[in-house]
Structure formats: C-alpha cells, structure tokens
Amino acid sequence: MPKKALPKDDFFNKMRELCIALTYDDVRLKTGRSRVVPDKVSTATRFSRNVMLKIPIVSAAMDTVTEYKLAIELAKLGGLGIIHRNLTPEEQAYHVARVKNHLNGLTGLIEKPICVREDDTLKDILYRKEKRQYPFDSFPVMDDKGRLVGILTGNDFGFWEEDSLGLIKVKQAMTTELRIAKQGTSLDHAYLLMKKMKKKHLPLVDDKGMLVGLYSFKDLKNIKSGKAAGYNLDKKGKLVVGAAIGVGEDAFERLKKLAAEHVDVVVIDTAHGDSEKVIETLKKIKKLYPKLDVVVGNVSEAESAERLMLAGADGVKVGQGPGAICTTRIIAGIGKPQVSAVYECSKIGDKYDVPICADGGLRFSGDITLAIGAGASSVMMGSLLAGTDEAPGDVVFKDGRSWKEFRGMGSLGAMEKSKAARERYGQTETGKSELIPEGVEALTPYKGALGLVVKQYVGGLKRGMGYVGAADIEELRAKADFIRLTNAGQSESHPHDVEILREAPNYSVGRR
Ligand code: XMP
C-alpha cells in the first residue's frame, strides 16, 4: 500500500487549499516513460479486505442493473455484481443462490445433483424447473429405492405432445442407456470418457449403485479450456457475488438468508453512510458475522470514511450524487465532485488498509483510469452497465432507437415500489405522496451483450495503464499524477470539428 507522499498529493493539496474539488472531466493523468504493454497489465484488485476482483468493475445495487443474470456474467468476466435490495429478503437470497449455484466448482463435480423420481410426470418436472428456476434441464432419475435408473435430458421432453405431459411418466421418457462411472473418477478421466462416449452427463455411483455425483461436460470443458481462468471465483470455485442491505432489523433478516446462501460480501447501501444507524448496524454485523466482509457507503469526506473504517468497514464506497440518474446534489445542495472525494477518502483507506470503491459518475473507460489513479481500488457502475442484455427489463423502441429503462434508487418510481429504496434515502416514515425524490427515471441506450461492453471498459483502462507506465492497479494508484483541464482542454480532448460517421463501441457523443 502506498503510504509515502505520492506525485498526486501535491496537486490535490493545492486544490484543497483553494477549496476546489474536482471530478472526472476536470482532470487527466500525465503520461510517463513506459515499458508496459497494455495487453499484459494486471487488473487484479480488491473490492474489500478479503474479496478479490480480476477486473476492477463492480455493478451497482440498482433494480435496473444487478440481478442474478448480470451478476453471473460480470463474475465470469472477473468482476462482481451486487444484488439490489428492492427485493424481498427471500427474493434477494434466491438471486444470490442463482449466482453461487451457477458453476459446479473447481472440481467440476456436482456433489448433490437435483434428481427426479421415475413415477413423476413430465409436467411435474417442468413445473418444478419453472418454479425453482433451475438453469439446467437434465436430471438423474431414481427408483423408489433411491437407485439410479436413468437420466432425463432436455431432449426427452421434446418428443411428447404438450397436452400429454401430465400423463407421461418420467420412466417412459428417460434415457435408460446409462453411462456411469465409479465414485472418485477424476475430472480428467471423466472428460475423456464423456468425449469418447459423446455424453453430456456422467453420473458417479458407489458400490451399491447409489448416485454420489454428476459431471456435466459443459462445466468440464470450461475448466479444461482455461476459459474459467478469468472467472472471479471463491475458494470453492463458485462465482463471487455481493448483496446490498440496509440498516436495523431488515438488514439482519436479509443477512441471515444471504449468509445461508454463502454471499461473499454485503454492502450497507445508503445515501449517507456517515450516520448513526449505519455505524450501529456495521458494528453489530461485524460481531455476529466476523468472517463476512462488509462494505459501507456512501460517503464523500475523509472524516466520514475514517469513522466507518474505525467501526470495522472492510471497504468504503465513495460517491454522493455523481451518478447519471442522481439528483441528490441538486435537490439537497450537498456532495463533493468525485475525483477529489475518492482521493481524500483513499488517503484514509491507505492508512487502515481498507479499499475504496468509486461509486457512480463514470461516463467513459478513461474515468476508470482516473478513479483508480485518484486512489480507488475498484469502481461501481450503474449507467455504464444498464441497458445491456443481462440487466433486468425489456428493450423498448423509441425515436428510431432501442433503449432499456434505468432509474435511480431514489427516484419516485423506485421509492414508491420499495421500502428498501425509501430507507436508502431516510424516508421510511414519509407518506408516499410526500416523498422527496433524489433521482430520476430514465431510458438508457440498449448496449447489447455485457461481455462486449465490459471488454471495452477494461481495454480502455489497460490503455491508460500503458500510458502511465503502470503494470498493475497498485502501480497505477502510486504513479498517477494529475493535471487540471480547462474548458478548452476538455473540448480539445473530445472529437471536434468533424461529423462522426460511425459510432465507436467505446465512445458516444450522447455521453459527452
Ligand atoms: P452511475 O453514474 O454509474 O451511478 O449510474 C450509479 C450509482 O448512483 C447511486 N444512485 C443514486 N444516487 N439518487 C442518487 O443520488 C438515486 O436515485 C440513485 N440511485 C443510485 C448509487 O450509488 C449507484 O451505485
């Protein structure tokens, strides 16, 4: 951790003396002598004391951004999704479970596969699959003594008329030509067997013929091909996921359910982190769940960050009002431009070895480089990830373009819908007709697959690291040196005096 004076300290100290706080568009980083090849830099970092990231991108706990689909994809890209809390505790825990159960771990072995009975009907199975949202459609089949007698695959459903599914028993439809292997079969051996036999599933049985595990070829292929090397995984090889909680009793009800699903980190997600209830809740969680990382926010002043760190925060989220849909600074007249806020809080973070996450306000990939240069270890994004295929909500067509809904958690719509959103903005006691919104409801351009979008953001960061001469995130935090942009400097930085013919995947005039 860089604790000695850094090149950027002088710059920010001078700004502070003038009572000037700056944000992304106000600054750029100086370039330096570099031996760094952008494609070779390491983007590994931390979200909190113990929760690692392979890319420094965390998705916002917003109901138009992070549910299980986006959290799964982002963890596969090396980042982390924080499941929002405009859900009941049960629903939120379900989303966490979907992420944790998406992969079958480093060994590729499903230790307790979901099985069906031979006397169940196909309709029963489809109903269960729909209700529990199983992300797979193959099931080992058991007889009434619990012995393995077949396997029911997705294909086996397709050969029956829709209206006869309630009459067809699993034993009539299942595949009985079973290929099995002995308990203890290794991943490598199983992979070879399945490849040779062209089987997508390989059940493992013990001496008595009882099922003790299942290999799925898709999982093994991912592991063998090295595709899983970029995934952000926990120690058991499951995808990493976080969840937002509030304060008081609701937080503890959520925590119980989230911890049961092995959530990796919780975020006390409030508009004003430096408040009594947040600190009380944080201290209590650290007592009850000492092994669970707790990130707390949001704040924008160094003293606030220090109070949270002294109360036990494992990470602090910085950002009050910089977000694309936020109106807090305008409605309440408070807040601090994001780059200065991140810099000041990160000086405290370095003192206590607590990572800072720069939350909100990023508009281009270069802003990630700036946030980390200012001292953040990760960034949280809402608007830049909303509108992707994996974000909740449907694509709508308007004015000749495709869009998806994106709204602030303090918007009227979000607060009317959920007590958690009202609590985030300290308005649980306020009647619905008297709510004071601190965000807006909007549309964001449809962006397509998350994977392509995130690759552009990470690619931009890597380019920035190359220019600065930083081979990893810590080096970027240590080497970054800032200059102040004037309005002329800023307009020079964007394309100018031209008519853009083709929109680039990483630059949109609308974001300027
Ligand atoms: P971006 O700019 O990435 O910001 O979309 C996402 C962050 O904005 C915060 N957030 C809000 N802030 N009013 C606010 O003042 C709101 O309604 C609101 N909703 C979300 C939140 O910290 C998020 O991560």
User: pLDDT for 119-138, tens place per residue?
Assistant: 999 999 988 887 776 777 88
Q: Please report how many Cα atoms fall inside a 13 Å half-sphere around the Cα of residue 450, on the Cβ side.
A: 27
Query: For 280, which DSSP code?
Result: H
Which residue among 57, 65, 409 is best mutated to probe the pocket of ligand 1, counting the most ligand atoms within 8 A of its Cβ?
409
Quick check: 296 and 337 in contact, CB under 8 A?
no
Residue nearest to atom 19 of ligand 1 (CA): 408
How many Cβ atoms sit within 10 Å of the Cβ of residue 177? 8
List pLDDT tens digits, range 56-94.
999 999 999 999 999 999 999 999 999 999 999 999 999
Quick check: 359 and 379 in contact, CB under 8 A?
yes
User: What is the C-alpha separation between 448 and 476, in angstroms, rounded?
Assistant: 30
List pLDDT tens digits, range 313-363.
999 999 999 999 999 999 999 999 999 999 999 999 999 999 999 999 999
Query: Can you tell me which atom of ligand 1 is nearest the CA of 298?
Result: 22
**Is the per-residue pLDDT at 4 higher than 80?**
no
Phi-psi region of 108 (alpha: psi -120 to 50; beta: other; left: phi over 0): left
Which percentage of the chain shows pLDDT scores above 70? 99
Structure confidence at residue 47 (pLDDT): 98
**Is the per-residue pLDDT at 508 higher than 90?**
no
DSSP per-residue string spanning 2-63 = --S--HHHHHHHHHHHTT----GGGEEEPP------GGG----EESSSS-EESSSEEE---T
The average pLDDT across 264-287 equals 97
Structure confidence at residue 103 (pLDDT): 83
**Is the per-residue pLDDT at 375 higher than 70?**
yes
Instruction: Tell me how many degrees the CA angle 354-355-359 measures, rounded to the nearest 5.
Output: 135
Distance 143 CA to ligand 1 centre (A): 53
User: What 3-state class would DSSP assign to 373?
Assistant: helix
**Is the per-residue pLDDT at 179 higher than 60?**
yes
* Amino acid, single-letter form, for residue 215: Y
**Is the per-residue pLDDT at 106 higher than 80?**
no
Q: Which residues are known to be catalytic?
A: 326, 424
Query: Can you tell me which atom of ligand 1 is nearest the CA of 406?
Result: 5
Structure confidence at residue 240 (pLDDT): 98
Q: Does pTM top 0.75 for this prediction? A: yes
Structure confidence at residue 409 (pLDDT): 93
User: What is the C-alpha separation between 283 and 294, in angstroms, rounded?
Assistant: 10
219 vs 61 pLDDT, higher one: 61
The average pLDDT across 381-387 equals 97
The average pLDDT across 143-149 equals 88
Residues 6+ apart with CB under 8 A from 18: none
Structure confidence at residue 418 (pLDDT): 87
Structure confidence at residue 128 (pLDDT): 86
Distance 12 CA to ligand 1 centre (A): 25
Query: Can you tell me which atom of ligand 1 is nearest the CA of 327?
Result: 15
> b/e per residue, 97-136, with b = 16+ CB within 10 A?
bbbbbbbbbebbbbeebebbbbebbbbbbeeebeeeeeeb
**Is the per-residue pLDDT at 1 higher than 60?**
no
Query: Can you tell me which atom of ligand 1 is nearest the CA of 440?
Result: 17
Distance 70 CA to ligand 1 centre (A): 17
Residue nearest to atom 12 of ligand 1 (CA): 326
Residue spans of the domains in the chain: they are 7-103+231-511, 109-223
- Cα–Cα distances (Å) from 115 to 56, 77, 152, 200, 230, in that order, read 38, 31, 9, 16, 31
* Amino acid, single-letter form, for residue 239: L
Query: Can you tell me which atom of ligand 1 is nearest the CA of 328?
Result: 15
User: What is the C-alpha separation between 168 and 187, in angstroms, rounded?
Assistant: 35
**Is the per-residue pLDDT at 282 higher than 70?**
yes
Distance 381 CA to ligand 1 centre (A): 9
Which residue among 24, 62, 66, 368 is best mutated to probe the pocket of ligand 1, counting the most ligand atoms within 8 A of its Cβ?
62
Residue nearest to atom 15 of ligand 1 (CA): 326
Instruction: Report cis status (omega within 30 of 0) of the bond before 298.
Output: yes
β-pairing, 401-407 with 441-445?
A: antiparallel
DSSP per-residue string spanning 312-358 = T-SEEEE-SS-STTB-HHHHH-----HHHHHHHHHHHHHHHT--EEE
**Is the per-residue pLDDT at 431 higher than 90?**
no
Query: Can you tell me which atom of ligand 1 is nearest the CA of 321?
Result: 15
Structure confidence at residue 77 (pLDDT): 97
40 vs 224 pLDDT, higher one: 40
Distance 60 CA to ligand 1 centre (A): 8
Distance 321 CA to ligand 1 centre (A): 7
Distance 269 CA to ligand 1 centre (A): 11
Structure confidence at residue 3 (pLDDT): 66
Class of domain 109-223 (CATH, top level): alpha beta
Distance 3 CA to ligand 1 centre (A): 30
Residue nearest to atom 24 of ligand 1 (CA): 60
Nearest residue to 369 (alpha-carbon basis) of 56, 32, 16: 56
Residue nearest to atom 2 of ligand 1 (CA): 323
Quick check: 379 and 358 in contact, CB under 8 A?
yes
Ligand 1 site residues (CB inside 6 A) read 60, 62, 298, 319, 321, 323-326, 328, 359-362, 380-384, 408-411, 438-439
Quick check: 161 and 190 in contact, CB under 8 A?
no
Which residue among 299, 300, 326 is best mutated to probe the pocket of ligand 1, counting the most ligand atoms within 8 A of its Cβ?
326
How many Cβ atoms sit within 10 Å of the Cβ of residue 384? 27
Class of domain 7-103+231-511 (CATH, top level): alpha beta
Which residue among 272, 317, 325 is best mutated to probe the pocket of ligand 1, counting the most ligand atoms within 8 A of its Cβ?
325
| pLDDT confidence band for 429 (50 / 70 / 90) | confident
